[in-house]
C-alpha cells in the first residue's frame, strides 16, 4: 500500500483556506480518497441558547408559576369570662322566677279551662293581680330605673301581698281546679323571686 499525501499549495490572499486534506490509498479495492480536516482550519461554531433556558415537553407550554404560600391568621386568645358573683346569680335567678310567675298568672287569667275566663268575669281583679306581679320585678330592674334597692324591694313586697289577696279571695274557692293549680304555681314563683331579690335583708 502506497500512501501519498498532497501537499498544500501556497495560498493567495484572495483564495479561501482549504478545509480538508485528501489522502489517497493505492492498491486497495473500494478505497478512494478520504477527506480529513486540515490542520489549523477553523471549525464551524454553533450558537447555543440562553444558559438558564430549560426545554420542556413539546406542547406543554410554560411551566405553571409556584403556588403562593398560605398565610395563617394568628389565633386570637379569648379572654376568660369572669365568674358571676353570688349577687349576680341571685339577680338572674330572681328575674327568671318573677317572669315565670307573671306568665303563669296570665295563663290562668286568659284560659278558661272549661269555664269562663277570669279576664271576662273578674276583669278588675285580673288587672289588679297583673299589676301586682309586675311590681315584683322592681328589685331586679330598680337600678336601671334609678330606685334604691331597699325601696324597690319594699314595693315588690307590696305587690306580692296584693297577689296573695287575689289568690285568697278569687282563686282559693276553686283551688282544686286546673286553673287554680296554674294560678297557685304563679304565686309561688313570685314569692321565690322576692325571696332571692337583692336587698331582701335591708
Tens of pLDDT, residues 42-88:
555 555 555 555 555 555 556 666 666 666 666 666 666 777 777 77
In a domain, 200, yes or no: no
Share of the chain above pLDDT 70, in %: 56
Residue 96 domain-assigned (yes or no): yes
Residue 185 belongs to a domain: yes
Separation between Cα atoms, residue 116 and residue 109, nearest integer Å = 10
Take residue 67 and report the three cell numbers written for it: 403556588
Residue 10 in any domain: the answer is no
The contacts found for 172-178 with CB under 8 angstroms, 24 or more apart, are 177/113, 177/115, 178/113
The pTM is what? 0.56
Is 179 within the bounds of a domain?
A: yes
Over 109-148, what HEC string results? HHCCCCCCCHHHHCHHHHHHHHHHHHHCCHHHHHHHHCCC
187 within some domain: yes
Full domain range(s) for residue 113:
86-195
Does the pLDDT at position 2 exceed 50? no
Q: CA nearest 149: which of 87, 93, 199, 88? A: 199
Residue 55 belongs to some domain of the structure: no
Number of structural domains found in the chain: 1
> What letter would DSSP give residue 172?
G
Q: Determine, yes or no, domain membership for 38.
A: no
Which contacts of 106-112 are long-range, i.e. CB under 8 A and separated by 24 or more positions?
106/130, 107/182, 107/186, 108/171, 108/179, 108/180, 108/182, 108/183, 108/186, 109/183, 111/179, 111/182, 112/179
* Predicted pLDDT of residue 82: 77
- Look at residue 3 and tell me whether its pLDDT is greater than 50: no
Amino acid at each position: 500500500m502506497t500512501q501519498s499525501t498532497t501537499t498544500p499549495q501556497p495560498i493567495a490572499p484572495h483564495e479561501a483556506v482549504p478545509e480538508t486534506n485528501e489522502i489517497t490509498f493505492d492498491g486497495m479495492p473500494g478505497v478512494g480518497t478520504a477527506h480529513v480536516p486540515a490542520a489549523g482550519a477553523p471549525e464551524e461554531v454553533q450558537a447555543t441558547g440562553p444558559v438558564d433556558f430549560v426545554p420542556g415537553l413539546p406542547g406543554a407550554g410554560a411551566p405553571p408559576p409556584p403556588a403562593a404560600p398560605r398565610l395563617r391568621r394568628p389565633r386570637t386568645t379569648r379572654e376568660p369570662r369572669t365568674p358571676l358573683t353570688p349577687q349576680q346569680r341571685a339577680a338572674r335567678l330572681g328575674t327568671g322566677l318573677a317572669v315565670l310567675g307573671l306568665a303563669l298568672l296570665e295563663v290562668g287569667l286568659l284560659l278558661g279551662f272549661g269555664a269562663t275566663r277570669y279576664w271576662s268575669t273578674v276583669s278588675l281583679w285580673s288587672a289588679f293581680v297583673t299589676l301586682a306581679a309586675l311590681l315584683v320585678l322592681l328589685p331586679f330592674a330598680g337600678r336601671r330605673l334609678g330606685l334604691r334597692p331597699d325601696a324597690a324591694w319594699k314595693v315588690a313586697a307590696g305587690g306580692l301581698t296584693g297577689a296573695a289577696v287575689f289568690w285568697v279571695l278569687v282563686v282559693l274557692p276553686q283551688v282544686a281546679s286546673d286553673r287554680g293549680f296554674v294560678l297557685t304555681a304563679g304565686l309561688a314563683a313570685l314569692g321565690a323571686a322576692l325571696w332571692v331579690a337583692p336587698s331582701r335583708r335591708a
